[in-house]
Amino acid sequence: MKTRLIVSASLMGLLAACGGPRAFTRGTYEDPNTIEMLSDQFNENDLQLIAKKMVNSLAGSPRFTQPAQQLPVVLVGRMKNKTSEHIDMGSLADKIQTGLAQTGKFALLDKAAREDLAEEYEYQQSGYVDPNKAKAPGQQASADYLMTGEISSIIQQVGRDKLVYYKMTVKLNNVRTGIVEWTDEKEIRKKFEKKHISW
C-alpha cells in the first residue's frame, strides 16, 4: 500500500512537470538586423528602419551637405507616441542620435544628461574640488536645432486579414528662428493573416 502511494505520487509529480510551465533554457545569438515578425506589434526592425531613414535623410539634406566651419548642434527632443501600443520612444530617439553622431556631420546635445551635469556643477562648486579646476555653469554649448517627432498608426482588420500602418514624422526646428529647416517621414505597412492552430 505504501509502495503504491509512493509510485502514484511520483507519477503525478512527473506528469505535473511535463505539463507545467516551461522555461527558455537554451538560446543563440542572432543578427539584430534580421527581420522577424513574430507578432503584429511594433518591433525592433520597425525602430531600425525609422532611425536609418531619418539619419540618412537628414545627413543627405542639401541644408547640411555644405561643409561648415562649425558642426551644427542638434538637441534630440521629445518623440511622441500617438499609437495605442507601448513604443519605447526613448530608444528610438537614442538610435537616431547615435546614427547622427556617427555621420560626423552633427554635434549632439543629450537632453537627459543636462540634469546630471547640473548636479555635477553643484558638486564641483561645493568646496570638495580644487577651485582652480572646478567647472562652472555658463560654458555649455547651445542647441542650433531641436529635433522632435511623432509616430501614429492605423490598424485595419477584415476577416482573417490585418493591416498595420505606421507613420513616423520627424522635424528639425531652427532654435533661433523657429523655422522648420528639415522634415521627413517614414511609412511602414505590414500585413498579417490569422491562421488556425491545430493541436
Tell me the pLDDT of the chain (199 aa) as tens digits: 555 555 555 555 555 555 556 776 777 776 666 666 667 789 999 999 999 999 999 999 998 887 778 999 999 999 999 999 999 999 999 999 999 999 999 999 998 888 899 999 999 999 899 989 989 888 889 999 999 999 999 999 888 889 999 999 999 999 999 999 999 999 999 998 877 666 6
- Please give the model's pTM, rounded to 2 decimal places: 0.77
Say how many C-beta atoms besides its own lie within 10 A of residue 90's C-beta.
Answer: 10
**CATH architecture of the region 42-111+142-193:** 3-Layer(aba) Sandwich (3.40)
H runs (alpha helix) in 60-106: 62-65, 89-103
For the chain, what are the domain ranges? 42-111+142-193
Contacts of residue 165, Cβ cutoff 8 Å, sequence gap at least 6: 153, 154, 155, 156, 187, 188, 189, 190
